[in-house]
Amino acid sequence: MTGATARSAFTTEPSSADPHTYQTGFGNRFASEAVPNVLPQGMNAPQRVKYDLYSEQLNGSSFVAPRHQIQHFEACFSAANRNVEFVAAQQAWDPLPLLLEHDESSPGSGSGTDFVESIRTIAGQGDPTLREGIAIHVYSANTSMVKRAFCNNDGDLLILPQRGRLNIQTELGWLMVRPGELVVIQAGLRFRVVLPDGPVRGYIQEIFGAHYDLPDLGPVGSNGMALPRDFESPVASFDIEVDKSTWEIMYKLAGSLHLCQQNHTPFDVVAWHGNLVPYKYAIEKFINLANVEKDQADPTIYCVLTAKSKIPGVSLTDFLVFTPKWITTKDTFRPPYYHRNMSTEIMGLIYGRYNGSSHVLEPGGLSYEASYMPHGETYETWKDATTRELKLERVFEDTIAFMFHISVPMFITKWALRGEGGRSLHPSSPTQWDMAKAHFLDHLDEVNLDLKAAGLPSLGEEEEEVKP
């Protein structure tokens, strides 16, 4: 295939930040050919495929042996697992340290840490063998995966780079993902991660039994939140290797890694079609909706992607984003209102400034609020928010913060709680709430006047005992 290709509404153009081309849309069935006319037409398994290619559906592989060296994933979140525990109090973590630049060409520089080796589990619920539940991980890596691919059989991964781009080679093609973008790689798909900018850091949300979906829009209609056409999927791309040296394929099954060796590249798919396709999305494209007259919208209005739980009508997790927007409401308490809710809230910051006042959150850090535990802003923030003059206001300028809004209680790993390799917690002091004042009793005279006017006894006044 030579010559210029016409610009298409259905594919994107390469740029300096991202050299790849994508097909756009969400939940579509795509078809992609790296060599024209290779996909069998009207069937999937003809007797003989063009060029004697093999026709394959996405599935597993044999020759799997256990690999015990790396055990940093947690996948069984129950009281029987001593590596995890329930925590009631709010938690906040500093960013995972960035690893030093790793020089792959220098023999003395060690082996470095690649994307998969660097993943550490923070929290989770459920179990992938039950196809139910969720896990939150972080990664901090400094070397590309060379002759090594990863395949997560436990669930779909939503990856959020926070520092450095990830150039991800999948069986279905390449995706370049930068901080500010998310990428979803489904279970069962082999991929490897190349680091074009050196050391990287970021967040991962893994779901065990469902796929990510766009939230239903209801009365919102078609012009808000994440637009389907802003999701980008790769085009077919394959490698030809003359060199027959060994490739390692790492499979994650129920949290343990299993190693398979083969003497050919796994990235040999010439053409494909279907809808089990990885995709990326630039979070800056999210179209914010909010109340414009009074009161606050529920934060689920900031939902980019959702995943269903096994309870009808209840999501397992909603991925919410906080990006620049106007606040226009009058006579409204504008900071997040004080609340207790069923969901566990795990927040992170990709870049910019976190505006919450009850704990510190740096870019790359994390915070946790347990299910049904009370939380809200500090007394100082309450005082300011209840007395300030309300004007048009920009919030989250030059910022992307996010929340994993998870409907189930989460176990936290002991690794996340006890620290190792610089993982540091900075719990907020509960004494910050000692400052909060109960103002109601300062207004006792006014309250009693109102009660008297309504024919009710004053506060503190004994009601006359009725004698029989």
Which CB sits closer to Fe ion, 181 or 345?
A: 345
From 177-185, 187-195, 269-277, 338-346, span contacting Fe ion (CB under 5 A): 338-346
From 66-74, 81-89, 129-137, 339-347, span contacting Fe ion (CB under 5 A): 339-347
Which CB sits closer to Fe ion, 58 or 327?
A: 327
Tokens coding 329: 């409401």
Q: How far apart are CA 177 and CA 201, in angstroms?
A: 12
Residues in a beta bridge with 158? 184, 205
Q: What angle do CA 11, 15, 19 make, to 5 degrees?
A: 80
Which CB sits closer to Fe ion, 155 or 356?
A: 356
Which CB sits closer to Fe ion, 114 or 345?
A: 345
Whole-Å CA distances, 401 to 18, 76, 206, 259, 396:
23, 28, 19, 36, 8
From 132-140, 168-176, 180-188, 341-349, span contacting Fe ion (CB under 5 A): 341-349
Which residue's CB comes closest to Fe ion? Answer: 345
Q: How far is the CB of 77 from Fe ion (least distance, A)?
A: 21
Q: How far is the CB of 1 from Fe ion (least distance, A)?
A: 52
Q: Count the site residues for Fe ion by CB under 5 A.
A: 1
Q: How far apart are CA 344 and CA 322, in angstroms?
A: 17
Whole-Å CA distances, 232 to 24, 177, 179, 183, 295:
5, 11, 16, 9, 35
From 32-40, 279-287, 343-351, 431-439, span contacting Fe ion (CB under 5 A): 343-351
Cβ atoms of 75 and 255 closer than 8 Å:
yes
Which CB sits closer to Fe ion, 314 or 449?
A: 314
Cβ atoms of 235 and 173 closer than 8 Å:
yes
Q: How far is the CB of 102 from Fe ion (least distance, A)?
A: 39
Residue 431 backbone phi and psi in degrees, to 5:
-70, -15
DSSP 435: G
Q: How far apart are CA 390 and CA 291, in angstroms?
A: 15
From 278-286, 340-348, 444-452, 457-465, span contacting Fe ion (CB under 5 A): 340-348
Q: Sign of the C-alpha dihedral, residues 365, 233, 22, 251?
A: positive
- Residues 6 or more apart from 461 whose CB is under 8 A from it? none
Whole-Å CA distances, 258 to 73, 156, 209, 250, 413:
12, 18, 20, 6, 22
- In the chain, the amino acid numbered 19 is P
Q: How far is the CB of 296 from Fe ion (least distance, A)?
A: 12
Which CB sits closer to Fe ion, 269 or 408?
A: 408
Which CB sits closer to Fe ion, 345 or 377?
A: 345
- DSSP per-residue codes, 452-465: HHTT-PPTTPPPPP
Q: How far is the CB of 369 from Fe ion (least distance, A)?
A: 6
Q: How far is the CB of 205 from Fe ion (least distance, A)?
A: 17
Which CB sits closer to Fe ion, 120 or 359?
A: 359
Which CB sits closer to Fe ion, 172 or 406?
A: 406
Q: How far is the CB of 346 from Fe ion (least distance, A)?
A: 11
Q: How far is the CB of 249 from Fe ion (least distance, A)?
A: 40
| Pairing, β 247-253 against β 279-282 | unpaired
Q: How far is the CB of 74 from Fe ion (least distance, A)?
A: 24
Q: Which of residues 6-65 bind Fe ion (CB under 5 A)?
A: none
Which CB sits closer to Fe ion, 179 or 365?
A: 365
Tokens coding 8: 């298409």
Q: How would you classify residue 222: left for phi > 0, otherwise alpha for psi between -120 and 50, otherwise beta?
A: alpha
Cβ atoms of 172 and 200 closer than 8 Å:
no
Q: How far is the CB of 345 from Fe ion (least distance, A)?
A: 5
Which CB sits closer to Fe ion, 158 or 320?
A: 320
Residues in a beta bridge with 77? 126
Q: How far is the CB of 360 from Fe ion (least distance, A)?
A: 17
Which residues would be at the binding site for Fe ion (CB under 5 A)? Answer: 345
